[in-house]
Structure formats: structure tokens, C-alpha cells
């Protein structure tokens, strides 16, 4: 399999050349173009129960697509997310990565998609009750709205919740108000996430909720 990310960082898209017999799993509706003879199968996103959980509580899709090359030659597929932004590739070596809702784009067939309880605060604050986890041996691609920042944490760090894209599972996340109750509401920072521990996080340089917050007062 040969995968290339083009158009970074503003309009990244993922070009994958599948060798015979290879397959790739992608978020529903991520496919932009593909060879006509690729085999497409819709799969429940990790079993019915867990799939439903993801859909209803984790804000992920109920179904994902598996694209398989059943032909004798290489076949091409191009994937993109719905929002403009960057895409990054991660080679997981039996590691796990936690993804915020909407960040997942595609992964190789050996990667397992799972769920992790994200906490009540996260659920109530509309960030989803569950978190998508990807683990196993292989590649995963995830994307952001805007550019991506990779950051190594050792100790404590505070990030705006809407800008968090992914993090390593050993990190502890605590949702909290940016300041006191009032300053949180008036400073416009709203919810922040306190990250504790040692590991990597990925941030996006823009947030859809930020754009929405800017647009809404201008609509009438």
C-alpha cells in the first residue's frame, strides 16, 4: 500500500494505492474518488452495540466503509474529510490513540476501532460520552479543521476543548471551566481541557465551533 497526503495544510486529501488483496477502512462519506472495480462494504463500526454507542453517544458514524482491491493490479482511492484542514498519518505499533469526534478518516484493516468512556462532563458538554480509540498494528489517518500541531506533554497542560484532536491514552484529561463560572462564559474560552501526564497530543489551529460562534451573530 502506498499512501500520500497532498494539499496540506489547508485542503489535505489522502491518496491511497491499494495493491491486490489490500484493503482500507474509511469513515463513511470520506471517499471522494475511486477506481470503479474496488469492492465496497459497509461495516458496522465495531459491532452493533458499540456502533450504536458511537453513533448516539460518541458522535461517530454507525457505519464505516471497507474498500478492498480484489483485482490483480493496483487500484487507487482518494479520501478527504468534510472540513478543510490537514491530515496526518500515524503508524501504530500496538499502541492506542484516542480521537476526538470527527477526527478519524481512515485506517488499515488490522487496526481496531474501539470505544472509551470519556466521562459525564464530556457528554454533557456535547463532546460525546465516549471517545473513539484506534489500536493495533498498522496505519491510521486522522484530520483537523485548520492545521495540526503535535505537542509533547510532560506534566500539566491546558488546551481549548474544541481544538483538541487526538491524544495518547495514558494522558489524563479533565474538562473544566477556563476560569471561574462567570469568566468562562464571558471570556469566550468556555470549556478547557486540563491534560496531565506524559505523552503526545494533537491540536487543530482552528475549530468549527469557533467559526460557528463567529458566524451566528452575523446571521439574521
Partner 1 sequence: MKIETIHGPGNAAAHVTLENNETLVAEGGAMIAMSTNVSIETTTHQKRKGGIMSGLKRLLGNESFFLNHFTANSDGAVVTVSPTLSGDLKVLKLNNDRIIVQSGSYVACEKSVEMDIGWQGFKSLFAKEGLFWLNLSGQGQVIVNSFGAIYPIDVDGEYIVDTGHIVAFDETLNFSLSKAGKSWISSILGGEGLVCRFKGKGTVWCQSHNASAFGRALGKQLKPIKR
Question: What gap in Å lies between CA 7 and CA 154, rounded to an integer?
Answer: 32
Smaller CB separation from partner 1, 181 or 214: 214
* Rounded-to-integer distance, Cα 201 and Cα 47, Å: 28
Select 63 or 157, whichever has its Cβ closest to partner 1: 63
Residue 39's CB: how many other CB atoms inside 10 A? Answer: 12
Shortest Å, Cβ 112 to partner 1: 19
* In the complex, minimum distance from the CB of residue 119 to partner 1, in angstroms, rounded to a whole number: 23
Choose between 29 and 137: whose C-beta lies nearer to partner 1.
Answer: 29
The residue within the footprint of partner 1, chosen from 40, 91, 158, 185 (CB under 8 A), is 40
Q: Is 150 in the site for partner 1 (CB under 8 A)?
A: no
Q: How far is the CB of 76 from partner 1 (least distance, A)?
A: 8
Q: Judged by CB under 8 A, which of 38, 92, 132, 191 binds partner 1?
A: 38
Whether 101 contacts 132, CB under 8 Å: yes
Per CB under 8 A, contacts with partner 1 among 71-110 are: 78, 80-84
Gyration radius of the chain over CA positions: 18
Complete DSSP assignment for 41-104: EEEETTSHHHHHHHHHTS---SEEEEEE--SSS-EEEEE--SSSB-EEEEEEEEEEEEE-TT-E
Alpha carbons 175 and 182: distance in angstroms, whole number: 16
Q: If binding is defined by CB under 8 A, does position 210 make contact with partner 1?
A: no
Q: Does 215 bind partner 1 (CB under 8 A)?
A: yes
Cis peptide before 193 (omega within 30 of 0): no
Q: Is 6 in the site for partner 1 (CB under 8 A)?
A: yes
The one among 72, 93, 155, 219 contacting partner 1 by CB under 8 A: 219
Q: Which stretch binds partner 1 (CB under 8 A): 103-111, 182-190, 198-206, 210-218?
A: 210-218
- Is residue 151 at the binding interface for partner 1, with CB under 8 A as the rule? no
The three-class DSSP label of residue 182 is helix
CA–CA separation, 152 and 45 (whole Å): 30
56 scored as a contact of partner 1 (CB under 8 A)? no
**Sign of torsion, CA 51 56 57 62?**
positive
Residue ranges binding partner 1 (CB under 8 A): 6-7, 9-13, 15, 28-29, 31-42, 61, 63-65, 78, 80-84, 208-209, 211-212, 215-216, 219-220
Amino acid at each position: 500500500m502506498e499512501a500520500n497526503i497532498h494539499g496540506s495544510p489547508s485542503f489535505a486529501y489522502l491518496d491511497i494505492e491499494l495493491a491486490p488483496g489490500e484493503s482500507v477502512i474509511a469513515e463513511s462519506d470520506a471517499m471522494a474518488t475511486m477506481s470503479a472495480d474496488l469492492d465496497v462494504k459497509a461495516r458496522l463500526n465495531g459491532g452493533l452495540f458499540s456502533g450504536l454507542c458511537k453513533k448516539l453517544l460518541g458522535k461517530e458514524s454507525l457505519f464505516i466503509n471497507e474498500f478492498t482491491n480484489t483485482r490483480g493490479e493496483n487500484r487507487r482511492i482518494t479520501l478527504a474529510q468534510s472540513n478543510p484542514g490537514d491530515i496526518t498519518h500515524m503508524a501504530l505499533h500496538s499502541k492506542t490513540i484516542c480521537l476526538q469526534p470527527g477526527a478519524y478518516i481512515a485506517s488499515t484493516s488490522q487496526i481496531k476501532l474501539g470505544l472509551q468512556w470519556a466521562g459525564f462532563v464530556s457528554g454533557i458538554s456535547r463532546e460525546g460520552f465516549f471517545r473513539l480509540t484506534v489500536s493495533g498494528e498498522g496505519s491510521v489517518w486522522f484530520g483537523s479543521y485548520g492545521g495540526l500541531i503535535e505537542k509533547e506533554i510532560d506534566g500539566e497542560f491546558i488546551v481549548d476543548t474544541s481544538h483538541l484532536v487526538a491524544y495518547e491514552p495514558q494522558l489524563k484529561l479533565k474538562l473544566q471551566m477556563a476560569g471561574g463560572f462567570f469568566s468562562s462564559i464571558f471570556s469566550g474560552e468556555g470549556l478547557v481541557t486540563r491534560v496531565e501526564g506524559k505523552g503526545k497530543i494533537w491540536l487543530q489551529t482552528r475549530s468549527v465551533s469557533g467559526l460557528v460562534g463567529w458566524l451566528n451573530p452575523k446571521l439574521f
